[in-house]
Structures are given as C-alpha cells and as structure tokens.
Amino acid sequence: MEINMQNLVEKAYAAKQYAYAPYSGFHVGAALLCGDGTIFTGCNIENAAYSPANCAERTAVFKAVSEGYRSFLAIAVAGSSGEYLAPCGVCRQVLMEFCDPDSFLVILAKNQTQYQSFRLGELFPHAFSKTDLV
Ligand code: THU
C-alpha cells in the first residue's frame, strides 16, 4: 500500500473544519490511513469541563477501531498555527497500542503543501506498550 502523504494532509485539513474548540480556539484535524487504504478523519472535540477534550488524532483512531479497523499505516495532523503540529503524549500512547513504531508514519503538517514525517518510534521512544505487560 503506497502512502500518499499529500492526500492525507489534505484530508486532515478538510477534517479541521469540524473541530469543536470553543475553549482553546485551536482547531485540529487528522487523517488516519488504514492497511487496506481506508481513511478515517478526526477533529478535536472540547468540553465545558475541559478535561474530557479529545484530540483530533484520537478521534480518528477511535472512529476506526470502533468500526473494526486495527491495521494502520500513517496519520497526518493539521492545525491552524502555521507550525508543524505534533501529537500530544496521550495520542502517541494511543497510536502505540495499534501501530508498529518502526513503520507507522506520523505526518506533521505546517500548511497544505509543507509537511514532515517521522516514524512513531522516533516520536515516542522507550514507550510502554502491551509487549511490556508480561
Ligand atoms: N490538540 C489536538 O487535537 N491534537 C494535537 O496534536 C494537539 C492538541 C487539541 C486538544 C485541544 O482541543 C486543543 O488542541 C488545544 O490543545
């Protein structure tokens, strides 16, 4: 399965329009590529109680897993700051549950045409994962 990073970035930006972020004003979109080519998008969803907020990346992962998908190749993340946007620690932990840290690509977008990619293991080294639960 070829990974079309530009397409994922565009889908992440498209998903950003649905962000519900009245408290931070920080709108984020994500697009998650599954092993079979299916793409799930997500946006951040905030809450008046603040802590229940869900990041765009986790929204995409939870949408996919709740529909039976567990094989993932890459995720693109797009924000509004004009800077490369990296997933928070909680989202990295959630990605680690389902994604191969040596191959899964995390694509950080700066704008619609500028982005950089990292392996999950680069962004989240020495992670705790299910392989530690022995
Ligand atoms: N946020 C994301 O959705 N993804 C990230 O990678 C960083 C942060 C959201 C959470 C919160 O709704 C807002 O951005 C500000 O932190």
Strands across the sheet containing 105-109: 39-43, 29-34, 72-78, 105-109, 115-119
pTM of the full structure = 0.97
Q: Ligand 1, atom 9: nearest CA belongs to which residue?
A: 55
Per-residue pLDDT of the chain (134 residues; tens, 9 = 90+): 789 999 999 999 999 999 999 999 999 999 999 999 999 999 999 999 999 999 999 999 999 999 999 999 999 999 999 999 999 999 999 999 999 999 999 999 999 999 999 999 999 999 999 999 98
pLDDT (0 to 100) of residue 134: 84
Active site residues: 57
Ligand 1: does its nearest atom lie under 6 Å from the Cβ of 45?
no
Select from 92, 77, 91, 89 the least CA-distant residue to 26.
Answer: 77
Ligand 1 probe mutation, 13, 43, 44, most atoms within 8 A of CB:
44
